[in-house]
Structure 1
Amino acid sequence: MSDNPAIRSRLSKVRALFKKSGIDALLVASPPNVFYLSGFKGTDSYLLITGDEGYIITDRRFIREAGSLEAFKTELRERRIEDTAIALAGRIKVSSLGFSENELSVYAHKRLQSHPGQKVRLVACGNPVLEMRATKDAGEISTIKKAVRITKSVLRNASEFIKPGLSERGASLKLLNKLIEAGVDDKAFDIIVASGPNSARPHAIVTKRVMKNRDSVIIDIGARYHGYSSDLTRAFHLGRINSKLKDAYSIVKEAQALAIDSIRPGSRASDIDDIARAFISKNGYGKNFLHGLGHGVGIDVHEAPGISAHSKDVLTPGMIFTVEPAIYIDGIGGVRLEEMVLVNDKDCEVL
């Protein structure tokens, strides 16, 4: 039994699904889900959960870390991890082994099925751990808030060096150094610094382009802190602002405010997207908003819930996601503003 109450609670929720799913164990294959259910941070590892035990399947690189988690047994893989997993399941008398549909490749599934002499039935169980991760507990919320505070402090000081003469790549490296100096584990993703016409690309690749006077500059940055992520975007303008971009900035800012004001438990994620999108469209830039309004943030920088026109997610307290409307104008530049919000019992808190 884990001495971490959050992990104990998560494991209990997983085990509660066994009877409904017709399984007596669950194989967890993605590193973020393994971390969520055990605290184990090694890569290339699986977690096998039975009704009363948990087994971390890993190699010699992570054997000490796995061994330090006293609530879990360690299974050393000497060959393909699928072979070790299915052999373990057979040895401990698992008859029906569940797996999350989005975690196993076709190859891994075939390998599990074709292991010599294996009699374990494999059962697809949807994506139960991902669904659990969409709602954060108090500890997760506290950690994410810390990651956001650090990221905001770095952005707040970015105007000291985001100036004409600095390259996008140089700015990206400065931002990364500032994050590390502030105490984060790492960046959550490759930091985006997109200037001038490059800022009209939603996920621009950082280049050697040198920023110039009158450029628009989009900075999209996130921190990795104690296993959790942040994700914020700000728009900067160097010198006199292009009139179209000034107009776009006002529209994007208002669209974001309208969307945030509409967030409350029970709301459909697609409706939140529609509110921002309708306002941008009404102001003549509907075709310039090229992506969904937002996405969940947690262990992964992109996870449930999805905030888009096609999302079927319904908001519940504890969900954390981005609200990032944008307008991109080819040949001129773009504006994207991104905040992270936490759904509470009545509405939401901007983090």
Structure 2
Amino acid sequence: MFDISKIDKLFILMEKKNLDVVVIGPSNTLEFLTGFNPVGCERFQALFITRERQYFYICNLIYAEDMKRWFDAAAPFYIWNDSQGFHEPLQKAVMDFDLNNKTIALGESIRAIDSIDMKSIFPCEFINGSHLLEELRIIKTEPDLDKMRRAARLADEVMENLTGFIRPGITEKEIKIKIEDLFIEKRADGLSFSPIVACGSNNSRPHYRENSGIIAKKDVLLLDFGCRYQGFCSDISRTFFIGNISKEEKRIYKIAREAQEAAVLAAKEGVRCCDVDKKAREHIEHHGMGNYFLNRTGHGIGFDVHEAPYINGNNKRYLERGMAFSIEPGICIPGKVGMRVEDIVVINHQGETEVLNKFTKEIVIIK
């Protein structure tokens, strides 16, 4: 159901930033607040929340029954059908809630074409509301962290299961399907993102997607995947070696792993995100591989697999209790090889740095 305590936090942020209205479309943010994400299509729908602690929902008729289940019976709904369009119902809502000439923060999933349509319906000033909405989720409660621990355990179990499944001759696509099947067997609530399965030189592309490779007798395989459990995400990466490992591969992996471990050790309550990134970056640069460190050191995680806080060189925010984030520096040599090790780390409510993933970071060779 619509969680009023989470909305109270939003009202405080709105007052602080002098915002009149926040608009949230289908997204994980909407699920965080209501318990449900309808997964949007081209039909406009959104939750409008005003500074006066009022709200309403507008949606197409085909979504009305689904969405009403997540609100009180008295919640204001403005429903439109395909023949009618959403302009007239939205005009009525604007009049009912006095939204003319207001400053409106748009969530990340509101489409540009819908914002243009809204501006044609009523005068207002739109601003980017994504950072505001991320603030709602940046500090996890202890029950939230327990769900993330469970999601991480499921990811560890799947990684362990895969070591007995992977062998030369199978395809990246077969491994991807196996990952999906294993999470279903373990009763996860779905994937947190589409798994990355990259062998050969495919793994030099950090977000490789084709799944067209075949595992060779001598190969390097990078896996990156996660699941959702009761709304919260996991994310893990490991690099496996097929057949054997060369001296150069061992050297590169050692650099990537040590950079990851250095960043984990640096990630403490009161430390700036940019300083955590610096630890990983300095280690990789010291070994002459700085040009091949393409990504940030990490990203926040929770209801979204990528959210605040971002562990990069520009983020001067201090780590706080309840924050959860990945640590995943990598080395990607274009057209040759890519390796990374990724764990989810939290600053727990005792102020301790806690690594949620337990799957080994030792070299794993699959024969």
TM over 0.5: yes
Matched, 1:66 2:70: no
Change (3 A) 1:271 1:18: closer
Matched, 1:110 2:113: no
Contact 2:23 2:107 in 1 (8 A): no
Change (3 A) 1:274 1:80: farther
Give the match's secondary structure for 2:168. Answer: coil
- More divergent stretch after superposition (75-84 vs 253-262): 75-84
Which ranges of structure 2 fall in alignment gaps of 5 or more residues?
Answer: 357-367
Matched, 1:341 2:345: yes
Structure-to-structure mapping, 1:267-286, within 5 angstroms: 267-286=271-290
Matched, 1:350 2:329: no
Partner of 1:43: 39
Look up the equivalent residue of 1:197 and give its one-letter code.
S
Give the match's secondary structure for 2:163. Answer: helix
Partner of 1:34: 30
Partner of 1:75: 78
Partner of 1:250: 254
Instruction: Give the C-alpha shift of residue 80 in structure 1.
Output: 4.5
- More divergent stretch after superposition (329-338 vs 275-284): 329-338
Output one character per residue of 1:146-196: Cα deviation in whole Å (capped at 9) or x when no partner: 221111100011111111111111111111111111112222211111112
Contact 1:252 1:337 in 2 (8 A): yes
Quick one: distance in 2 between partners of 1:22 and 1:334?
46
Change (3 A) 1:249 1:82: farther
Look up the equivalent residue of 2:127 and give its one-letter code.
A
Quick one: distance in 1 between partners of 2:91 and 2:140?
31
Which ranges of structure 1 fall in alignment gaps of 5 or more residues?
Answer: none
Quick one: distance in 2 between partners of 1:21 and 1:329?
43
Give the match's secondary structure for 2:313. Answer: coil
Instruction: Give the C-alpha shift of residue 86 in structure 1.
Output: 4.6
Quick one: distance in 1 between partners of 2:16 and 2:334?
52
User: What is the TM-score with the length of structure 2 in the denominator?
Assistant: 0.86
Give the match's secondary structure for 1:179. Answer: helix
Give the match's secondary structure for 1:113. Answer: helix
Contact 2:61 2:79 in 1 (8 A): yes
Structure-to-structure mapping, 1:258-337, within 5 angstroms: 258-337=262-341
Output one character per residue of 1:193-239: Cα deviation in whole Å (capped at 9) or x when no partner: 11122222212224332211221100011112233221110111112
Contact 2:34 2:71 in 1 (8 A): no
Contact 1:263 1:347 in 2 (8 A): no
Contact 2:329 2:341 in 1 (8 A): yes
- More divergent stretch after superposition (9-18 vs 51-60): 51-60
Identical aligned residues as a percent: 28
- More divergent stretch after superposition (339-348 vs 301-310): 339-348
- More divergent stretch after superposition (324-333 vs 282-291): 324-333
Partner of 1:9: 5
Contact 1:21 1:125 in 2 (8 A): no
User: What is the TM-score with the length of structure 1 in the denominator?
Assistant: 0.89
Match of 1:87 among 92, 97, 100: 92
- More divergent stretch after superposition (330-339 vs 278-287): 330-339
Change (3 A) 1:155 1:101: closer
Contact 2:25 2:107 in 1 (8 A): no
Equivalenced residue count is 344
Look up the equivalent residue of 2:67 and give its one-letter code.
A
